[in-house]
Amino acid sequence: MPRICLVTHFFPPHMGGIEKVSYEQSKRLTKSGYKIDVLTSKIKGRNEYPLKGIRVFHYSPLNLAERIGVPYPILSIEAYRAFTEVIRKCDLVHAHGHVYMPSFLAGKVAKKYKKPFILTQHNTFIDYQSVLNILEHLNDLTIGKAVLKGADRVITVSKKTMEYVRKLGADMSKTSVIYNGVDIDTFHPENKSESRKKLGLPTNRKIILSVRRLVYKNGLDTLIESVPLVTRNHPDTLFVVAGKGPSKKLIEDRIKELGIKDNIKLTGFVPDKLLPVYYDAANCFVLPSASGEGLPLVLLEAMACGVPVIATTVGGTPEIIKHMKNGVLVPPRNPEAMAKAVSKLLSEERLGPAIGEESRRNVEDRFTWEKNLCQLQSIYSEFL
């Protein structure tokens, strides 16, 4: 049985896009006969995600940047020992994220032990609109370029992400796109009224859902500024934002300033098992991304649940959505455009369900984990 060393900055129970993709792939790879050894950061609390065929090895990092919304673990010298012990016993190394120090170290150790090194790149450039942009550019040009150059194969989650790594010097002959997937058995349409009762949400209001880390400048500012514009003509609308993050206090203060506390609800962290219920409870899902998207998992999940979606033209999102067919596209950082799109779906009662039905069909055709895994195994087979 081939043994794959999976390298990721974080892994469940720590949750994020990379964590979810790497876990969903690992879970399915084990069923196909692979053995998975995960190298990841040690986090507080629960540090294991037990699943037959997956072993998790932790190293202790410094997570200084996470408090400002940047999940970037810094490696200690002793991490080298952990990487060496795991990688020298594996058949292939698969790292996630070109800018992370674990990916850089994994590439170097893989080369030392003559192991194939594959990299998956998830996001495009994240515009923090601050000095962090300079640091991100520097990281791209140092660690990022070195990781891309050292990879035997580069996988990107969208064509837009491929453009991003190409500009950083990735070898296009070794680069391919594998779209993310969604579990269509877990995420599917249910009974909206029952879902709302289960969550304690009102059954007589229009609910607009967004699932986001609470990082204000990552699009939540746009969503919040759109709320009073929507509620002028649709006062019964309730915006529900599921997630946690470093900007919670800033967001709460802005909600008070705008006087919209009766029209928006912050749920805090929502466990995976309840996410399908939240999607099903919504009349519409909004992804207000400002930058950095590769291929958003939450968008695929909402679409799989048959919920009409509104999303910004950021990253790989336009590769998923055909405007006014299986979703609505709006420009980023434009509250007026977002409010107009939400109001249109609320006003035209037949439009939303038609878009939602097409969304579900589109996901079933193009974005399942089974399709994703088939392509991934094909790449693995080139080296094993």
Kindly report which listed range (18-32, 125-139, 264-278) carries the lowest average pLDDT score. Answer: 125-139
Residue 71 has what pLDDT?
66
Please check whether residues 154 and 85 belong to one and the same domain: yes
In this structure, how many other beta carbons lie within 10 angstroms of the beta carbon of residue 172? 10
Q: How confident is the model at residue 189 (pLDDT cuts 50, 70, 90)?
A: very high
Domain membership flag for residue 129: yes
Please check whether residues 37 and 140 belong to one and the same domain: yes
> Which residues, in sequence order, are CB contacts of 326 under 8 Å at separation 6+?
303, 309, 320, 355, 358, 359, 361, 362
Please check whether residues 171 and 250 belong to one and the same domain: no
> Which residues, in sequence order, are CB contacts of 166 under 8 Å at separation 6+?
172, 175
- Number of domains comprising the chain: 2
Q: Does the pLDDT of residue 81 top 70, yes or no? A: yes
> Which residues, in sequence order, are CB contacts of 200 under 8 Å at separation 6+?
none
Domain membership flag for residue 238: yes
| Interval 280-289: pLDDT, tens | 999 999 999 9
Please check whether residues 55 and 13 belong to one and the same domain: yes
Please check whether residues 24 and 138 belong to one and the same domain: yes
CATH number of residue 29's parent domain: 3.40.50.2000
Domain membership flag for residue 186: no
pTM across the whole model:
0.93
* Domain interval for residue 282: 192-366
Burial code of 318-356, b = ≥16 C-beta within 10 A, e = fewer? bbbbeeeebbbbbebbbbebbbbbbbebbeeeeebeebb
| Interval 351-383: pLDDT, tens | 999 999 999 999 999 999 999 999 999 999 999
Residue 50 has what pLDDT?
60
Domain membership flag for residue 68: yes
Please check whether residues 324 and 360 belong to one and the same domain: yes
Q: How confident is the model at residue 1 (pLDDT cuts 50, 70, 90)?
A: confident
| Interval 96-154: pLDDT, tens | 999 999 999 999 999 999 999 999 999 998 887 788 778 888 888 999 999 999 999 99
Please check whether residues 24 and 102 belong to one and the same domain: yes
Please check whether residues 206 and 163 belong to one and the same domain: no
Residue 258 has what pLDDT?
97
Please check whether residues 325 and 376 belong to one and the same domain: no
Please check whether residues 323 and 292 belong to one and the same domain: yes
Domain membership flag for residue 207: yes
Domain membership flag for residue 313: yes
Q: Does the pLDDT of residue 242 top 90, yes or no? A: yes
| Interval 284-324: pLDDT, tens | 999 999 999 999 999 999 999 999 999 999 999 999 999 99
Q: What's the whole-number mean pLDDT along residues 159-170?
A: 96
Of 19, 1, 12, 29, the closest CA to residue 375 belongs to 29
Q: Does the pLDDT of residue 67 top 70, yes or no? A: no
End-to-end CA distance of the chain: 10
Domain membership flag for residue 196: yes
Please check whether residues 142 and 37 belong to one and the same domain: yes
Of 268, 271, 272, 204, the closest CA to residue 240 belongs to 268
Domain membership flag for residue 166: yes
Higher pLDDT, residue 198 or 137:
198
Residue 200 has what pLDDT?
97
Higher pLDDT, residue 52 or 179:
179
Kindly report which listed range (49-58, 224-233, 345-354) carries the lowest average pLDDT score. Answer: 49-58
Residue 78 has what pLDDT?
80
Please check whether residues 128 and 63 belong to one and the same domain: yes
Of 99, 123, 90, 133, the closest CA to residue 3 belongs to 90
Instruction: Report the mean per-residue pLDDT for the chain.
Output: 92
